Amino acid sequence: MQYRTLGRTGITVSPYALGTLNLATAMGNDPADSARIVHKALDAGINLVDTADAYGDSEEVLGRALAGRRDDVVLATKFGRPTGQDPNHRGASRRWIVTAVENSLRRLRTDHIDLYQLHRPDPDAEVEETLAALTDLLRSGKVRAIGTSGMPASDIVEAQWVAERRGLARFRTEQVAYSILNRGIEREVLPTAQRFGMGTLVWGPLGQGLLTGRVRRDHNDLTRAGLFRHLTDDHRLATVEKLVPLAAEAGLPMAHLAMAFTIAHPGVTCALLGPRTEQQLDDLLAGLDVTLTDDVLDRIDEIVAPGTDIGTLDQAYRPPALDDAALRRRPIGSRAAA
């Protein structure tokens, strides 16, 4: 295992990290099976484990699984997404942050969180208030580093400027979707994170299942059932059909090609695996030492141009203005007369 430094945190992490959304019992996993997945990942050398307070009971499952092994883990969790019906049980206000961290510490059965991440930007909270609250958590020792997830490049820059001007702690990491099919972050987010010395954790390296090799145009039960939008996107499926022969020529399973691509980018620190079973984890770990040649990377660039997205991930962050028409239209009374 060739470890990497997580931005300028001084924390060393594995290039593959374990994402635990799928280990929540609501996803159909028994906690004992989830614990075995966690232990197998740790035994293989993975040392960063990522979860969130919005992932059902994932934090609780992980907390029990890490009993006796907590010191071996860079433990990351997230706050900010809704955790209930109360409108104040979400977001990035100081009020919620100080409550959310205590809840996560209790569920994770630990006295500190190594990486505490804002799960999604909160347009209703001043970034200065958010950073001030997180700075206090860092000083108290409850949190060791702070980061963001799904933050646009402009918001990353603003947060860095506010931290510098107000003498507050900086966001040290960004967690964002990245795969062969979703390369849009290569335009601004990755270069911006690199400029500020931030570590980058990427999720969805397998395109939410499309890059496993099991999802194809002509034999895909999930597509026929129409369960997920990204599995019915013809453009994405057509691109996968172009990648399948490339993987075969390289002598690699599709999943290994996809994972190796994500961690080849110098701006990416680690890629999150999201296995549901031990077998899925074994299959992914088998490709840990795969390195893609320049020729293969060039071929991928020909299929999916750098800095472009093929379709949209179901869980990708959408700025509020894209969903709320009132945020992208001037009030009628303020419009100039025709």
Q: Looking at beta carbons, which pairs linking 82-91 to residues 24 or more positions away fall under 8 Å?
A: 82/54, 83/53, 83/54, 91/122, 91/124, 91/125
pLDDT classification of 225: cutoffs 50, 70, 90: very low
Distance between alpha carbon 132 and the CA centroid of its chain, in Å? 24
231: pLDDT confidence band, cut at 50, 70 and 90?
low
Q: Give mean pLDDT, residues 2-25.
A: 96
At 215, is the pLDDT very low, low, confident or very high (cuts 50, 70, 90)?
Answer: confident
What are the pLDDT digits (tens) for 277-327? 999 999 999 999 999 999 999 999 999 999 999 987 767 777 777 888 888
End-to-end CA distance of the chain: 66
Residue 233's pLDDT is 74
Confidence of residue 234 (pLDDT cuts 50, 70, 90): confident
Q: What is the mean pLDDT of residues 146-153?
A: 97
**pLDDT at site 1:** 81
User: What pLDDT shows up at residue 223?
Assistant: 47
Provide the mean pLDDT of the chain: 92
State the amino acid at position 128 in one-letter form.
Answer: E
What pLDDT sits at residue 68?
Answer: 95
The pLDDT value recorded for residue 181 is 96
pLDDT for res 195: 98
| pLDDT band (50, 70, 90) for residue 31 | very high
**What is the Cα 18 distance to its own chain's centre?**
10
C-alpha dihedral sign at 122, 128, 133, 135: positive
Q: Which of 55, 116, 178, 317 is catalytic?
A: 55
CA torsion sign for 154, 315, 228, 270 is: positive
Q: Determine the pLDDT at residue 227.
A: 47
**What pLDDT does 219 receive?**
64
Name the pLDDT band for 224 (thresholds 50, 70, 90): very low
- pLDDT, residue 327, reads 80
Q: Which residues pair with 204 in a beta bridge?
A: none
Model pLDDT, residue 118:
98
φ, ψ for residue 16 (rounded to 5)?
-105, 135
Does residue 179 sit in helix, strand or coil? Answer: coil
Residue 74: name the closest of 6, 142, 133 by CA: 6
CA dihedral 275, 276, 278, 284 (to 10 degrees): -20
According to DSSP, residue 119 is labeled S
Query: How many CA atoms lie less than 13 Å away from 89 in the CB half-sphere?
Result: 10
What's the rounded Cα separation, in Å, for the pair 51 and 33?
Answer: 17
Q: Delineate the domains of the chain, giving CATH numbers in brackets.
A: 11-323 (3.20.20.100)
Catalytic residue flag (residue 178): no
pLDDT of res. 302 = 98
User: For 168-185, what is the mean pLDDT?
Assistant: 97
Mean pLDDT computed over 243-262: 97
Residue 86 has pLDDT above 50, yes or no: yes
Q: For the residues 93-115, what does the mean pLDDT come to?
A: 98
Q: What band does 338 get if pLDDT is binned at 50, 70 and 90?
A: very low
Q: Is the pLDDT of residue 123 over 80?
A: yes
Q: Give the C-alpha distances (Å, rounded to integers) separating 304 from 92, 184, 217, 249, 316.
A: 35, 10, 18, 17, 19
Q: Please say if the pLDDT value at position 77 is more than 50.
A: yes
